[in-house]
Structure formats: C-alpha cells, structure tokens
A = this chain, B = another copy of it.
Amino acid sequence: MKNLTKRQAEILYYIKDEIENNGYPPTRSEISKTFGFKSPNAAEDHLKALKKKGVLDLAAGTSRGITLSNQSSGIPVIGLVSAGGPILAEENIEKTIPNNPGILSHGIDFYLKVKGDSMIDVGIFENDLIAINKNIPVKTGSIVVARINDEVTVKTLTKISDSQVILRPENSSYSDIEVNPKKDNLIFEGTCVGLLRDFS
C-alpha cells in the first residue's frame, strides 16, 4: 500500500467505518459533512487520490460507487516472520482475508499462521490461523505472540515481572521458556483473541 497521508488515512478509515455500520459507502457530501469540508469537491479530490494510491476503486456515474480494495478492507495473514523488521512488514504478509467485524468479540489486527505443535493441548494446531489483537495489554493466562531475540513464538504467558517472564508451551513434551526481559530482547506482539481453521 502506497503511503497515505494522515488526512487520506482518516478518510479511508471513515469510509471503512461507514460500510461496516451502514452497509453501504458514503457519498461525497456525506464525507464532506463529516470532515467539515464546504465543498463536495474536497471529498472528490480525496477519493481520486485514494484511487490513485490503489486503496479503493470508484465506479463512474454510480452513487456510492466506492469499493475498497482487498488490501485495505482485509486483514493480513502473517506466515513466516523474517528477522529484523516489524511483524506487519509487507514481506511477511502471505495474503489478506476479508475483515469480519463481529465474528469475534475482540478486534483483529492480523492473523498468524501457526507453525509447530507446541500448543496442541489447547487445540491450536499447525497451520491454524490465530487472530491477534495488538492492543489488549498482555496478562498471565493469555495466549500471546512474543518475540524473543527476534524469534516469534506463540505461548501461554504464565508469569510476568520485571526480571522474569515465563512462557508455557501447551504440550507436555515441551518445557517452559524463561526469559529475563533485562537481558533478552522481549517484545509482545499481541494477544490471541481467536482461532480460524480451514478444512479444505
């Protein structure tokens, strides 16, 4: 996705929101009213800019003819995470799947494709997609996505203090992972809020 300006992002977000709430996109006038524009042409200009950047499409001569591109309406699925950069970096996004507000009780920032069998005792299997929320504060008992010295892992958080964090694999063949946040580089990427499995 090309870099959107702050204003453009606001407008895209508003359109997304309107579609979620009303079931149909806003008109130029509605956009203008919301943002306080005195001319519908301000909205028109923004829509053209957003179209140019590929985040939406406009059907000519069609009222409310705004379609969000999959990219901007979908939720990214993260496969293997490359070392270094942020988890949501373009190179980590395997695909996007349509957003479904209301399907889970918490918001979903991304899906992570599960590797390995370290969580099978709680029914998380290889290739399952776990739904991650980045903003819920991590707490003991939650299943979290943690990055320890640049390696991304999914575990149950069983203890968290300044000097010791314990991450538990939910599989009796594995042992707890102890991390000292003062020595190791530990980042919590989010909390698991749901699971999606496709039998195909």
Known contacts: A24-B65, A24-B67, A25-B24. The answer to whether A199 contacts B97 by CB under 8 A is no
Any B CB within 8 A of the CB of A53:
no
- Assess the B105–A200 pair: CB atoms within 8 A: yes
CB distance from A114 to the nearest CB of B (A): 10
Report how far A102 CA is from B95 CA in the complex, Å. 12
Report how far A13 CA is from B43 CA in the complex, Å. 32
CB distance from A104 to the nearest CB of B (A): 5
Chain A residues touching B, range: 35 or more
- Assess the A199–B64 pair: CB atoms within 8 A: no
Any B CB within 8 A of the CB of A194:
yes
Query: Please, what's the 1-or-0 string for A162-200, where 1 marks a CB less than 8 Å from any CB in chain B?
Result: 000000000000000000000000000000111111111
Q: Which residues of chain B come closer than 8 Å to A66, judged between CB atoms?
A: 23-24
Any B CB within 8 A of the CB of A116:
no
Any B CB within 8 A of the CB of A4:
no
Report how far A196 CA is from B200 CA in the complex, Å. 15
Query: Please, what's the 1-or-0 string for A121-163, where 1 marks a CB less than 8 Å from any CB in chain B?
Result: 0111100100000000000001100000000000000000000
A-to-B contact residues, CB < 8 Å: 19, 22-25, 27, 59, 63-68, 97-106, 120, 122-125, 128, 142-143, 192-200
17 A–B pairs (Cβ distance < 8 Å), ordered by A: A23-B67, A23-B68, A24-B25, A24-B64, A63-B63, A63-B64, A64-B64, A98-B101, A103-B196, A105-B200, A106-B199, A123-B124, A123-B128, A193-B198, A194-B198, A195-B195, A195-B196
